[in-house]
């Protein structure tokens, strides 16, 4: 009877201690993250997503720690069951710590990138930092996964597992050759990602032209780049492409860009008047950044005169809209003030048109002076 009472008392004590520790752990968890959230909202008005990334792994760590603490208090557990539970809890702790480490990487990224806004007007530094963090984050997560897997092996006390691991390492030379052959493109893209992060030929939100497609760099993964084309299509390009081929980057050093609009008019149009009209059009729209506004005669042909309207904008999207606006308003101005200045094909005759232009007739002999002449 006393043994039964002692056994019940021991189980009650173990359960009571476990519940008490769980309550204490949850209280500490709640207070800690509550304080963090209030400080975030008070300092910057927005959250750093620490609660989102670290709340669940930290709760798992608290829970498993409580189980490990209470495990010796449970009476009359078989040795094999006790060892099995201890091993399971230890592996759970290791996995939770790896989960927590990955959450820390995401939280640090969110904290450091909050001051670099990609939606800003001049976001060159922001695009550089975001691109580097995307690549470094993937590398760090891969390292955390490797370390977590190695730590899981350390939790086992069985020599057979270590012997198996030693054999696996011994065959790593042959396996590396096989993997190098099979995953050659993957390895090259991974190294290309590191090189892109340091040399920065492209960055997140860069405006690029790849294989004749204009778009923005939307995402840089460990193997490919996603480019959002202007019509909302997505162009998937391998990372190695940007190191082995030529492409256009319209925002490499700055987002400022020059745009052109060509007009083809007759020689009789007054160029100086069109130049003043172009300035008035540019000054009337916020699309123009106030830097460059020129109109030049860039080419002459037998029938037309080519005019190039050169205007500047803060970015490529505004430049496209400004070029369209210049074409529309300049064409409307020419239509209203110089309607005869558009290219036309003219025919002129120096005398009456004869019955036959090139051949003589019996009634009228051929006279070269009466033949029609055509001019453009």
Is the residue at 310 inside a domain? yes
Q: What is the pLDDT of residue 283?
A: 93
Q: What is the pLDDT of residue 176?
A: 52
User: How are beta strands 257-265 and 305-313 bridged, if at all?
Assistant: antiparallel
Query: 12 and 137: one domain?
Result: yes
Query: 59 and 21: one domain?
Result: yes
Q: Indicate which CATH number applies to the domain containing 331.
A: 3.30.70.100
Query: 30 and 69: one domain?
Result: yes
User: How are beta strands 224-229 and 234-238 bridged, if at all?
Assistant: antiparallel
Query: 11 and 77: one domain?
Result: yes
Side by side, the strands of the sheet bearing 224-229 are 234-238, 224-229, 213-220, 207-210, 248-249
Query: 213 and 358: one domain?
Result: no
C-alpha 235/C-alpha 219 separation (Å) is: 11
Record the tokens describing residue 216, joined without a space: 């923005």
Q: What is the pLDDT of residue 373?
A: 40
Q: What is the pLDDT of residue 168?
A: 46
Separation in Å, CA 282 to CA 261, 262, 311, 317, 326: 13, 15, 8, 16, 8
Is the residue at 137 inside a domain? yes
C-alpha 44/C-alpha 48 separation (Å) is: 9
Query: 94 and 162: one domain?
Result: yes
Q: What is the pLDDT of residue 61?
A: 81
> In a 10 Å sphere around its CB, with 0-12 CB exposed, 13-18 middle and 19+ buried, how is residue 345 labelled?
exposed
Query: 242 and 273: one domain?
Result: no
C-alpha 116/C-alpha 127 separation (Å) is: 8
Last residue of a domain, one of 148, 164, 191: 191
Query: 171 and 288: one domain?
Result: no
Last residue of a domain, one of 141, 166, 191: 191
Q: What is the pLDDT of residue 271?
A: 92
Give the chain as a 3 state SS string. CHHHHHHHHHHHHHHHHHHHHHHHHHHHHHHHHHHHHHHHHHHCCCCCCHHHHHHHHHHHHHHHHHHHHHHHHCCCCCHHHHHHHHHHHHHHHHHHHHHHHHHHHHHHHHHHHCCCCCCCCCCHHHHHHHHHHHHHHHHHHHHHHHHHHHHHHHCCCCHHHHHHHHHHHHCHHHHHHHHHHHCHHHHHHHHHHHHHHHHCCCCCCCEEEECCEEEEEEEECCCEEEEEECCCCEEEEECCHHHHCCCEECCCCCCCEEEEEEEEECCCCCHHHHHHHHHHHHHCCCCCCCCCEEEEEEEECCCCEEEEEEEEECCHHHHHHHHHHHHHHHHHHHHHHCHHHCCCCCCCCCCCCCCCCCCCCCCCCCCHHHCCCCCC
Is the residue at 171 inside a domain? yes
Query: 91 and 150: one domain?
Result: yes
Q: Indicate which CATH number applies to the domain containing 207.
A: 2.30.30.60
Is the residue at 67 inside a domain? yes
Query: 273 and 210: one domain?
Result: no
Is the residue at 77 inside a domain? yes
- Ordered per-residue pLDDT tens for the chain, 376 residues: 445 444 455 666 666 666 777 777 777 767 776 776 666 666 554 455 666 777 788 878 877 777 777 777 666 667 767 777 777 888 888 888 888 888 888 888 887 777 776 666 666 667 777 777 777 787 788 888 888 887 777 767 666 555 554 444 444 455 455 555 545 556 666 677 777 777 778 888 888 999 888 999 988 887 788 999 988 899 999 888 888 888 888 888 778 889 999 999 988 899 999 999 999 999 999 999 989 999 999 999 888 899 999 999 988 889 999 999 999 999 999 999 988 887 766 666 556 555 544 454 444 444 444 344 433 3
Q: What is the pLDDT of residue 369?
A: 46
CA-nearest of 92, 100, 102, 83 to 63 is: 92
Query: 229 and 365: one domain?
Result: no
Q: What is the pLDDT of residue 132?
A: 72
Is the residue at 165 inside a domain? yes
Is the residue at 196 inside a domain? no
Record the tokens describing residue 79, joined without a space: 């040795």
Work out how many domains the chain is built from and give that number: 4
Q: What is the pLDDT of residue 76?
A: 65
Query: 70 and 137: one domain?
Result: yes
Q: What is the pLDDT of residue 252?
A: 80
Domain with 359, as residue range(s), is: 346-376
């Amino acid at each position: 009877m006393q043994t039964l009472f002692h056994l019940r008392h021991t189980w009650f004590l173990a359960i009571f201690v476990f519940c008490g520790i769980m309550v204490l752990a949850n209280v500490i968890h709640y207070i800690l993250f509550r304080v963090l959230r209030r400080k975030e909202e008070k300092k910057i008005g927005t959250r750093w997503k620490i609660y989102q990334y670290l709340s669940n792994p930290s709760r798992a760590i608290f829970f498993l720690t409580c189980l490990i603490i209470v495990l010796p208090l449970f009476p009359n557990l078989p040795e094999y069951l006790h060892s099995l539970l201890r091993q399971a809890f230890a592996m759970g702790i290791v996995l939770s710590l790896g989960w927590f480490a990955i959450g820390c990487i995401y939280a640090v990224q969110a904290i450091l990138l909050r001051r670099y806004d990609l939606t800003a007007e001049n976001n060159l530094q922001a695009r550089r930092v975001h691109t580097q963090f995307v690549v470094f984050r993937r590398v760090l997560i891969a390292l955390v996964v490797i370390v977590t897997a190695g730590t899981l092996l350390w939790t086992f006390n069985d020599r057979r597992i270590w012997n198996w691991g030693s054999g696996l390492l011994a065959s790593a030379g042959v396996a590396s050759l096989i993997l190098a052959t099979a995953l050659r493109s993957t390895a090259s893209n991974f190294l290309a990602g590191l090189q892109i992060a340091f040399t920065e030929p492209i960055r997140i939100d860069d405006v690029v032209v790849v294989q004749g497609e204009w778009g923005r760099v939307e995402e840089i993964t460990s193997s490919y780049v996603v480019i959002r084309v202007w019509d909302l299509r997505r162009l998937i390009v391998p990372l190695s492409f940007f190191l082995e081929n030529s492409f256009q980057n319209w925002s490499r050093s700055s987002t400022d860009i020059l745009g052109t609009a060509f007009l083809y008019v007759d020689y009789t149009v007054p160029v100086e008047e069109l130049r003043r009209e172009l300035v008035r059009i540019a000054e009337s729209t916020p699309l123009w950044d106030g830097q460059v506004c020129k109109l030049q005669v860039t080419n002459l042909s037998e029938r037309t005169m080519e005019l190039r309207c050169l205007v500047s904008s803060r970015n490529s999207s505004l430049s496209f809209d400004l070029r369209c606006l210049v074409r529309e308003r300049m064409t409307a101005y020419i239509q209203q003030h110089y309607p005869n200045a558009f290219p036309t094909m003219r025919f002129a005759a120096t005398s009456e048109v004869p019955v036959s232009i090139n051949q003589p007739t019996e009634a009228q002999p051929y006279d070269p002076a009466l033949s029609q002449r055509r001019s453009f």
